């Protein structure tokens, strides 16, 4: 078994990305599965393309893409990806799409098959703030989640995948005005490990 975790390059003037920092701290094996880490560019289209070539090359059983959501107070597994690009700030290549489709021929939305309610439950049992989110936004994270779920639906029906947003880190939050909620990277990383455990257990139970 193999589990792929992806994070993003820093964006929006930041020097770190809380998602990738949390992924760095993950162990090399989770629930008997090999952990593979991948850094994605925070660029519309390109993030999804890099992810899809990794799916082809690594053939993971479970894929958990992770992004940073400044302003959120909890770890938030995402329910849905929508076929929409709408950027409040430019991406790392200077693109700022407004009301564009990700895939003109694709459906309006995809729902994840990650066991997100069980992930939330497991995190709460470990006293980690966690709740299901019903919007991954319309920026690069949603772009990558939509690309992942589209690829699973069309090419990799056996794969289980989805997306989790984590809050920014305290070192990032303290520089912003007003100061947003934040979460220590070790706690965010533990949530991602628990999410992997729950997801692999769900695959094994199939």
Supply the residues annotated as catalytic.
78, 141, 165
- Binding part of the chain for ligand PCA, among 64-72, 73-81, 108-116, 122-130 by CB under 6 A, reads 64-72
Closest alpha carbon to 22 in 128, 131, 133: 128
Q: Tell me the closest approach of the beta carbon of residue 11 to ligand PCA, in angstroms.
A: 5
DSSP string, 88-147: SS--TTS----SB-SSTTS-SEEE--S-HHHHHHHHHHTT--B--BS---SSHHHHHHHH
- Binding part of the chain for ligand PCA, among 61-69, 116-124, 171-179, 186-194 by CB under 6 A, reads 61-69
Q: At what angle do helices 140-154 and 46-58 cross, to 10 degrees?
A: 40
Of 121 and 135, nearer to ligand PCA (C-beta) is: 135
- Binding part of the chain for ligand PCA, among 73-81, 101-109, 132-140, 181-189 by CB under 6 A, reads 132-140
If phi > 0 it is left, if psi is from -120 to 50 it is alpha, else beta; for residue 13 that is left
- Work out which of 4, 5, 6, 8 binds ligand PCA, going by CB under 6 A: 8
- Work out which of 3, 21, 42, 76 binds ligand PCA, going by CB under 6 A: 42
Read off the DSSP letter of residue 37. E
* Residue 182 found at the interface with ligand PCA (CB under 6 A): no
- Work out which of 3, 5, 17, 65 binds ligand PCA, going by CB under 6 A: 17
* Residue 145 found at the interface with ligand PCA (CB under 6 A): no
- Work out which of 41, 48, 60, 137 binds ligand PCA, going by CB under 6 A: 137
Give, for 77, the enclosing helix (H) or strand (E): strand 76-77
Closest alpha carbon to 30 in 119, 141, 132, 117: 119
Return the SS3 of 26: coil
- Work out which of 23, 69, 74, 190 binds ligand PCA, going by CB under 6 A: 69
* Residue 55 found at the interface with ligand PCA (CB under 6 A): no
Binding site for ligand PCA (CB under 6 A): 8, 11, 17, 19, 42, 67-69, 137, 139-141
């Amino acid at each position: 078994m193999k589990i792929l975790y992806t994070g993003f390059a820093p964006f929006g003037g930041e020097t770190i990305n809380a998602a990738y920092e949390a992924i760095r701290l993950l162990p090399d094996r989770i629930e008997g599965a090999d952990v593979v880490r991948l850094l994605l560019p925070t660029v519309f289209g390109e993030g999804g393309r890099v992810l899809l070539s990794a799916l082809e090359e690594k053939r993971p059983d479970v894929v958990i893409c992770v992004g940073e959501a400044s302003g959120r107070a909890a770890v938030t597994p995402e329910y849905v990806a929508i076929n929409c690009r709408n950027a409040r700030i430019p991406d790392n290549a200077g693109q700022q799409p407004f009301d564009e489709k990700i895939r003109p021929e694709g459906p309006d939305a995809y729902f994840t098959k990650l066991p997100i309610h069980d992930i939330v439950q497991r995190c709460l049992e470990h006293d980690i703030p966690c709740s299901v989110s019903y919007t991954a936004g319309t920026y690069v994270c949603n772009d990558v989640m939509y690309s992942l779920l589209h690829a699973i639906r069309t090419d990799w029906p056996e794969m289980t995948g989805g997306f989790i947003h984590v809050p920014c880190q305290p070192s990032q939050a303290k520089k912003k005005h007003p100061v947003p909620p934040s979460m220590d990277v070790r706690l965010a990383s533990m949530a991602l490990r628990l999410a992997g455990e729950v997801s692999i257990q769900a695959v094994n139970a199939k």
